[in-house]
């Protein structure tokens, strides 16, 4: 009998890893007996919602689970070393050198005050892997080139905020790869990147794996995981609920929780199907004032934008055209999806629809009347007819206000008595699926999903005709994202509100939108019916965007042609 | 191009500084005119040391000598013109140019203020880097000690330091002298209070930055705790302290007046106390103008420093 995997072949073995943060309370244990092993050239993915213990597990592998954390393991072996007995000095010797770690969100994971090159060279300097300053510089530039950063000599001297999101993430990966570690751990390396950049970063990780490095990938994005992983661990509440090859997990999930996670992924899902198990909100019909169906017929145009042009002054005082001759119509009860890479002018277009930025040319009509050409004073009375939901609701709330005050503040002035005001606030909260217990909470005391629910409640409070959603689910876990998307879908059906929906996640856009507008470099390259665009993209750029979307194994891919190909197999 | 834009910024900054000094000059001029009592009478009293009423001839002579008989507009123009040429007027009491009096005494005061500023920063940096954001008794003590220091009045602290270290322990000279050793106690008297103020903003920022992902990132590259604290966190935490330094130097100049008195040191403090008590208004005005100039200079230096520590800031 031939053992395919010999113990010696394993680079990392973890046996019954436990991490506790607080003594004597069950919730204080973040990781409860996780075991796995990993061979060189293989990729292990750990998936689960936030709070499932996946990040803590990874951090425990470099001895950085947190200064209050107490880590126990029956065995923790890496490259023949027993990590359980490591002190700080021993840990420091392997961190960066033998185990590289890439954190999510490079904007905050690179020191904003130091040039990118310094950060990348830091590991080399710390582990005394270089002889001279010149050698350090040339190594740093070599690393930046390795991860595919153009103009590496210039970028090395720039600060993180001067780089694009994709360049920052590459720089962070370059820093982790500096000493050519045998194990690379990537914690949500592509969250918050747009699809094409995400595809490039994943390609980079795949190359690393192909060079014989072991890879641990932590992600809540199952599509990403299904592309990269050889083996998958599904974690919930600190425990591994399912493990297996990527193929097994995605094609024949055994555990109910795994199936729930998979169901929550919107890409390739038909509109109208529910992503989460949460029930549709019951509408408080008797108090119909809140939900008075708008008198508008479905065919009525609520927003009409014609030839919008917006220029901003770039570095060196050169005018840059950010939005170039963009026209669109949004009808009542309709969802218009706006997709494109970051910097394509999506958000600026939305800001012009909100009249937060005014177009340099062209104009926006709102319900057939002048909108962007009004003075702010004239506009103010009607501002509440267009609401907005942002990616990060936390920064759009006053942190000192309670949920009750946030919502009451957004109600129209026609609510006069205090009792009516309270009743309406409670209705709103109920509508977004939160119990009245949340009324007295403040934004910081809410989870990401709860905050976004409050943001939605605030957006619908003044009975708007249009809600602009700017990446409303990008910062959320897949299962929370599913609940929020379901909620947005339900509210649209019941309130007959129109959405202008911006997202870099094409799966999300496809799930929610009636029509889609694809933007590149400030121009609309393609627009039309969602299914038509996704099935038969006419423009190369749209095809590139679609091709870059990782799809779940065992799920229909994005375009019809590919779908047919799968069916033929 | 970068060097040019920084020079341009500096030029603009100093130009606006001239306006600040001009405003201060106008203010001192108005105060001189609006002060109760006849100016000529005050001058005669200061000069002679008498308090009696001077004769009409005496007053007319003084009025003519100082130009008080001319229209206010002319007086103002002459006053500003003179200041523009470095002439701060004549001391009533000492019968010599104010500029000379101030120049003679300003050196020790500036030395004391700068020494105190540097000492305050050293104390803040050392205690913060060593103790802040740790899970031990020192970290908790640090906060309390800083509040205590910030509430201690410097003159009181100066007296205590004087009694304990100079009189009882005889480690330092009791009074006077311009030797470095004589600078230690007055410097500490000012610096300890200031480090209490710095510490509070620096420590809170330090603890916040210590939890940032880029700090964890640096640890994951194998950087030691002390390395992380010095190389990454301190720079961020210093920023609010640098902002505070401009304000601090103003506070130090006024604090120095009292501390100089306690330690019988030379400096502007003595000059200001004598001038105020004898109504030697040109000297008081001169000190105000010089302080305004110093303030402009220090806030420019503070902003330049901020721009160096935080390269994201473009000086415009």
Q: How many domains does chain B have?
A: 2
pLDDT at B230: 92
Mean pLDDT of B295-307: 88
Closest approach of A148 to chain B, Cα-based (Å): 21
pLDDT at A504: 80
- In a domain, residue A507? The reply is yes
In chain B, whose CA is at the least distance from the CA of A113?
Answer: B310
Among the three residues B98, B118, B144, which one is the final residue of a domain in this structure? B98
| Out of A93, A104, A172, closest to residue B222 by CB | A93
B235/A68 touch (CB, cutoff 8 Å), yes or no = no
Q: How many domains does chain A have?
A: 2
B213/A105 touch (CB, cutoff 8 Å), yes or no = yes
Distance, CA of B27 to CA of B10 (rounded, Å) = 26
pLDDT at A169: 86
- Mean of pLDDT over chain B: 85
| Out of A95, A113, A159, closest to residue B221 by CB | A95
The arrangement of strands across the sheet holding A523-529 comes to: A386-389, A466-470, A498-502, A335-339, A515-520, A523-529
pLDDT at A285: 42
* A451 pLDDT higher than 60: yes
B218/A109 touch (CB, cutoff 8 Å), yes or no = no
Distance, CA of A120 to CA of A145 (rounded, Å) = 12
pLDDT digits (tens, 9 = 90+) for A203-256: 889 998 999 999 999 987 787 888 889 999 999 888 899 999 888 888 888 888
| Out of B217, B235, B236, closest to residue A109 by CB | B217
- Enter the ipTM: 0.77
pLDDT at A563: 40
Closest approach of B304 to chain A, Cα-based (Å): 16
Does one domain contain both B67 and B116?
A: no
The arrangement of strands across the sheet holding A319-331 comes to: A319-331, A301-313, A361-366, A369-370
Instruction: Please report, to the nearest 10 degrees, the dihedral formed by the alpha carbons of residues B204, B209, B212, B218 taken in order.
Output: -140
Does one domain contain both B268 and B205?
A: yes
- In a domain, residue B148? The reply is yes
A111/B223 touch (CB, cutoff 8 Å), yes or no = no
Question: Which positions in chain A touch B221 (Cβ < 8 Å)?
Answer: 95-96, 122-123, 126, 175-176, 178
- In a domain, residue A127? The reply is no
pLDDT at B2: 56
- In a domain, residue B232? The reply is yes
Cβ of A88 under 8 Å from any chain B Cβ? yes
Question: Which positions in chain A touch B212 (Cβ < 8 Å)?
Answer: 108
Please count the residues of chain A. Answer: 569
Cβ of A105 under 8 Å from any chain B Cβ? yes
* A289 pLDDT higher than 50: no
- In a domain, residue A512? The reply is yes
In chain B, whose CA is at the least distance from the CA of A175?
Answer: B221
**End-to-end distance of chain A based on CA atoms, in angstroms?**
34
Name the one residue in this structure whose structure tokens are 């009533």: B92
A111/B232 touch (CB, cutoff 8 Å), yes or no = yes
- In a domain, residue A151? The reply is no
The number of beta carbons lying within 10 Å of the beta carbon of residue A325 is: 14
Cβ of B211 under 8 Å from any chain A Cβ? no
Distance, CA of A450 to CA of A408 (rounded, Å) = 17
Distances (CA, A) of A117 to A154, A187, B268: 9, 22, 49
Q: Residues 134 to 193 of A: which have CB under 8 A from any B CB? A: 159, 161, 172, 175-176, 178
Distance, CA of B230 to CA of B248 (rounded, Å) = 24
Per the CB < 8 A criterion, the answer to whether B300 and B13 are in contact is yes
When pLDDT is cut at 50, 70 and 90, the band that residue A499 belongs to is very high
| Out of A62, A93, A109, closest to residue B214 by CB | A109
In chain B, whose CA is at the least distance from the CA of A116?
Answer: B214
| Out of B220, B232, B309, closest to residue A96 by CB | B220
DSSP state of B90: B
* B179 pLDDT higher than 90: no
- In a domain, residue B314? The reply is no
Question: Which positions in chain B touch A126 (Cβ < 8 Å)?
Answer: 221-223, 227
Does one domain contain both B13 and B134?
A: no
Residue with the bigger pLDDT between A17 and B43: it is: A17
Domain membership of residue A68 as a residue range: 1-98+184-191+215-263
Q: SS3 helix, strand, coil % of chain B, rounded to 5?
A: 80, 0, 20
B253-281 burial: b if 16+ Cβ within 10 Å, else e: bebbbbbbbbbebbbbbbbbeebeebbbb
Does one domain contain both B55 and B88?
A: yes
In chain B, whose CA is at the least distance from the CA of A63?
Answer: B220
pLDDT at A498: 93
Among the three residues B98, B132, B161, which one is the final residue of a domain in this structure? B98
pLDDT at A554: 59
pLDDT at A117: 92
Closest approach of B153 to chain A, Cα-based (Å): 34
Cβ of B314 under 8 Å from any chain A Cβ? no
Question: Which positions in chain A touch B232 (Cβ < 8 Å)?
Answer: 111, 114
DSSP state of B293: H
Q: What is the 3-state secondary structure (H, E, C) of A303-372?
A: EEEEEEEEEEECHHHCEEEEEEEEEEEEECCCEEEEECCCCCCHHHHHHHHCCCCCCCEEEEEECCEECC
Distance, CA of A517 to CA of A519 (rounded, Å) = 6
B223/A88 touch (CB, cutoff 8 Å), yes or no = no
Question: Which positions in chain A touch B309 (Cβ < 8 Å)?
Answer: 113
CATH of the domain at B196: 1.10.3720.10
- The backbone torsions φ and ψ at residue A366, rounded to the nearest 5 degrees and listed phi first, read -120, 120
Q: Nearest-5° angle of CA B98, CA B99, CA B100?
A: 90
Does one domain contain both A228 and A351?
A: no
pLDDT at A490: 86
- In a domain, residue B316? The reply is no
Does one domain contain both A248 and A389?
A: no
Does one domain contain both B94 and B177?
A: no
Distance, CA of B314 to CA of B10 (rounded, Å) = 12
In chain B, whose CA is at the least distance from the CA of A120?
Answer: B221
Q: Which residues pair with A309 in a beta bridge?
A: A361
3-class DSSP state for residue A468?
strand
B216/A93 touch (CB, cutoff 8 Å), yes or no = no
Question: Which positions in chain B touch A64 (Cβ < 8 Å)?
Answer: 216, 219-220
Closest approach of B215 to chain A, Cα-based (Å): 7
pLDDT digits (tens, 9 = 90+) for B190-239: 999 999 999 989 999 999 998 888 999 999 998 999 999 999 999 999 99
Per the CB < 8 A criterion, the answer to whether A18 and A73 are in contact is yes
Does one domain contain both B285 and B160?
A: yes
Cβ of B137 under 8 Å from any chain A Cβ? no
Does one domain contain both B143 and B167?
A: yes
Does one domain contain both B130 and B238?
A: yes
Domain membership of residue B33 as a residue range: 2-98
CATH of the domain at A469: 3.40.50.300
- In a domain, residue B41? The reply is yes
B214/A93 touch (CB, cutoff 8 Å), yes or no = no
* A294 pLDDT higher than 60: no
Q: What percent of chain A has pLDDT over 70?
A: 88
Does one domain contain both A237 and A347?
A: no
Question: Which of A542-551, B87-96, B177-186, B235-244 has the highest mean predicted lDDT (pLDDT)?
Answer: B235-244
Does one domain contain both A237 and A341?
A: no
| Out of B213, B310, B311, closest to residue A103 by CB | B213
Closest approach of A119 to chain B, Cα-based (Å): 8
Helix ranges, A41-105 (H): 54-60, 88-94
Retrieve residue B93's tokens.
Answer: 């009491």
Q: How far is CA B281 from the centre of its chain?
A: 21
Closest approach of A183 to chain B, Cα-based (Å): 13
Does one domain contain both A259 and A337?
A: no
Among the three residues B58, B76, B98, which one is the final residue of a domain in this structure? B98
Q: Which residues pair with A361 in a beta bridge?
A: A309
A122/B214 touch (CB, cutoff 8 Å), yes or no = no
pLDDT digits (tens, 9 = 90+) for A396-439: 888 889 999 999 988 887 777 888 888 889 988 988 888 888 88
Q: Which residues pair with A20 in a beta bridge?
A: A29, A70
In chain A, whose CA is at the least distance from the CA of B134?
Answer: A67
Does one domain contain both B21 and B170?
A: no
Distance, CA of A398 to CA of A420 (rounded, Å) = 23
Mean pLDDT of A68-77: 88
Helix ranges, B85-222 (H): 98-131, 137-151, 154-161, 180-210, 213-220
Q: List strand residue ranges (DSSP E) for A63-182, in order.
A: 70-72, 75-78, 81-82, 99-102
Distance, CA of A6 to CA of A353 (rounded, Å) = 62
- In a domain, residue A451? The reply is yes
Cβ of A101 under 8 Å from any chain B Cβ? yes
B312/A109 touch (CB, cutoff 8 Å), yes or no = no
How many CB pairs (< 8 A) connect A and B? 72
Does one domain contain both B127 and B275?
A: yes
- In a domain, residue A402? The reply is yes
Does one domain contain both A345 and A461?
A: yes
Distance, CA of A394 to CA of A135 (rounded, Å) = 44
Question: Which positions in chain A touch B224 (Cβ < 8 Å)?
Answer: 88, 92
Question: Which positions in chain A touch B135 (Cβ < 8 Å)?
Answer: 67-68
Per the CB < 8 A criterion, the answer to whether B121 and B198 are in contact is yes
pLDDT at A217: 93
pLDDT at B122: 95
pLDDT digits (tens, 9 = 90+) for A355-402: 988 999 999 999 888 898 888 888 888 888 899 998 877 788 888 899
Q: What percent of chain B has pLDDT over 70?
A: 96
A113/B227 touch (CB, cutoff 8 Å), yes or no = no
Does one domain contain both B86 and B123?
A: no
pTM (global) more than 0.80? no
Question: Which positions in chain B touch A98 (Cβ < 8 Å)?
Answer: none
B217/A101 touch (CB, cutoff 8 Å), yes or no = yes
Q: Residues 221 to 280 of B: which have CB under 8 A from any A CB? A: 221-225, 227, 232, 235-236
- Mean of pLDDT over chain A: 83
Those residues with Cβ within 8 angstroms of residue A287's Cβ, 6 or more apart along the chain or in another chain: A423, A424, A427
B221/A109 touch (CB, cutoff 8 Å), yes or no = no
- In a domain, residue A103? The reply is no
* A284 pLDDT higher than 50: no
Q: Nearest-5° angle of CA A426, CA A428, CA A432?
A: 115
In chain A, whose CA is at the least distance from the CA of B314?
Answer: A315
- In a domain, residue A422? The reply is yes
Distance, CA of A461 to CA of A465 (rounded, Å) = 11
pLDDT at A296: 42
Name the one residue in this structure whose structure tokens are 């020079």: B7
Q: Nearest-5° angle of CA A298, CA A304, CA A308?
A: 155
Question: Which positions in chain B touch A172 (Cβ < 8 Å)?
Answer: 217
DSSP string, A84-102: GG--HHHHHHHBTTTEEEE
Nearest to A139 by CA among A154, A125, A151: A125
Distance, CA of B223 to CA of A124 (rounded, Å) = 11
Q: Residues 53 to 82 of A: which have CB under 8 A from any B CB? A: 62, 64, 67-68
pLDDT at B220: 92
């Amino acid at each position: 009998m031939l053992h395919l995997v010999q113990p010696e072949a394993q680079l990392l073995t973890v046996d019954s890893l436990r991490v506790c943060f607080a003594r004597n309370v069950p919730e204080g244990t973040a990781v409860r007996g996780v075991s796995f092993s990993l061979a060189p050239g293989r990729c292990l993915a750990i998936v689960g919602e936030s709070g499932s213990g996946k990040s803590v597990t990874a951090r425990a592998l470099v001895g950085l689970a947190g200064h209050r954390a107490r880590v126990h393991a029956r065995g923790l072996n890496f490259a023949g070393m027993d990590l359980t007995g490591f002190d700080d000095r021993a840990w420091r010797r392997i961190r960066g050198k033998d185990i590289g770690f890439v954190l999510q969100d490079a904007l905050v994971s690179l020191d904003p005050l130091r040039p990118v090159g310094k950060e990348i060279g830091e590991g080399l300097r710390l582990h005394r892997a270089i002889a001279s300053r010149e050698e350090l510089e040339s190594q740093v530039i070599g690393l930046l080139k390795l991860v595919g950063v153009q103009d590496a000599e210039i970028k090395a001297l720039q600060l993180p905020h001067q780089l694009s999101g994709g360049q920052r993430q590459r720089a962070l990966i370059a820093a982790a790869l500096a000493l050519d570690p045998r194990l690379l751990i990537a914690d949500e390396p592509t969250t918050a990147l747009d699809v094409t950049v995400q595809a490039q970063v994943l390609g980079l990780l795949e190359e690393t794996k192909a060079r014989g490095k072991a890879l641990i990938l932590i992600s809540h994005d199952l599509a990403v995981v299904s592309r990269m992983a050889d083996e998958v661990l599904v974690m919930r509440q600190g425990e591994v609920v399912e493990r297996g090859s990527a193929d097994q997990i995605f094609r024949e999930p055994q555990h109910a929780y795994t199936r729930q996670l998979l169901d929550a992924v919107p890409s390739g899902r038909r509109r109208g199907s529910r992503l989460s198990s949460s029930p549709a909100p019951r509408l408080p019909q008797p108090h119909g004032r809140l939900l008075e169906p708008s008198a508008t017929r479905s065919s009525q145009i609520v927003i009409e934008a014609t030839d919008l042009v917006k220029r901003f002054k770039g570095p060196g005082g050169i005018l840059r055209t950010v939005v170039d001759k963009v026209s669109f119509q949004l009808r009542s009860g309709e969802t218009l999806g706006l997709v494109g890479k970051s910097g394509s002018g999506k958000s600026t277009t939305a800001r012009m629809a909100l009249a937060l930025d005014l177009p340099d040319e062209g104009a926006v009509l709102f319900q057939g009347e002048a909108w962007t050409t009004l003075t702010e004073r004239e506009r103010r009375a009607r501002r509440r007819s267009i609401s907005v939901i942002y990616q990060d609701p936390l920064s759009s709330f006053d942190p000192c206000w309670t949920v009750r005050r946030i919502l009451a503040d957004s109600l129209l002035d026609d609510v006069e008595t205090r009792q009516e005001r309270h009743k309406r606030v409670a209705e709103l909260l109920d509508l977004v699926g939160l119990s009245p217990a949340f009324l007295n909470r403040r934004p910081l005391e809410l989870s990401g999903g709860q905050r976004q629910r409050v943001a939605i409640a605030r957006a619908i409070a003044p009975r708007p005709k249009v809600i602009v959603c700017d990446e409303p689910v990008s910062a959320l876990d897949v299962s929370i994202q599913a609940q929020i998307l379901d909620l947005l879908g339900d509210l649209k059906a019941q309130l007959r509100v129109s959405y202008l929906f911006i997202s870099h996640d094409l799966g999300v856009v496809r799930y929610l939108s009636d029509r889609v507008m694809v933007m590149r470099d400030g121009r609309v390259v393609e627009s039309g019916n969602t299914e038509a665009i996704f099935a038969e993209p006419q423009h190369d750029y749209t095809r590139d965007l679609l091709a870059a979307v990782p799809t779940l194994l065992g799920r229909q891919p994005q375009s019809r042609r590919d779908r047919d190909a799968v069916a033929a197999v | 191009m970068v060097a040019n834009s920084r020079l341009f910024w500096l030029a603009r900054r100093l130009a606006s500084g001239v306006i600040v000094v001009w405003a201060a000059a106008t203010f001192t001029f108005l105060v001189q005119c609006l002060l109760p009592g006849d100016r000529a009478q005050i001058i005669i009293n200061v000069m002679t040391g008498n308090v009696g009423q001077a004769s009409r001839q005496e007053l007319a002579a003084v009025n003519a000598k100082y130009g008080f008989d001319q229209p206010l507009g002319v007086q103002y123009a002459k006053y500003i013109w003179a200041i523009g040429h470095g002439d701060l007027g004549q001391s009533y009491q000492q019968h010599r140019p104010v500029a000379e009096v101030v120049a003679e005494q300003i050196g020790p005061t500036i030395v004391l203020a700068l020494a105190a500023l540097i000492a305050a920063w050293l104390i803040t940096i050392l205690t913060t880097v060593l103790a802040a954001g740790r899970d031990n008794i020192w970290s908790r003590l640090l906060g309390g000690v800083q509040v205590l220091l910030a509430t201690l009045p410097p003159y009181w602290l100066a007296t205590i330091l004087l009694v304990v270290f100079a009189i009882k322990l005889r480690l330092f000279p009791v009074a006077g002298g311009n030797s470095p050793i004589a600078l230690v106690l007055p410097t500490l008297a000012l610096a300890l209070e200031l480090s209490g103020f710095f510490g509070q903003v620096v420590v809170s920022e330090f603890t916040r930055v210590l939890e940032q992902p880029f700090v964890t990132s640096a640890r994951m590259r194998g950087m030691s705790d002390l390395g992380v604290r010095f190389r990454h966190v301190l720079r961020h935490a210093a920023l609010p302290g640098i902002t505070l330094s401009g304000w601090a130097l103003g506070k130090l100049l006024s604090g120095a007046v009292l501390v100089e008195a306690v330690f019988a040191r030379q400096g502007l403090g003595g000059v200001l106390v004598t001038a105020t008590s004898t109504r030697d208004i040109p000297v008081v005005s001169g000190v105000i103008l010089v302080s305004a100039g110093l303030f402009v200079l220090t806030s420019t230096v503070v902003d330049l420093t901020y721009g160096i520590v935080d390269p994201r800031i473009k000086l415009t």
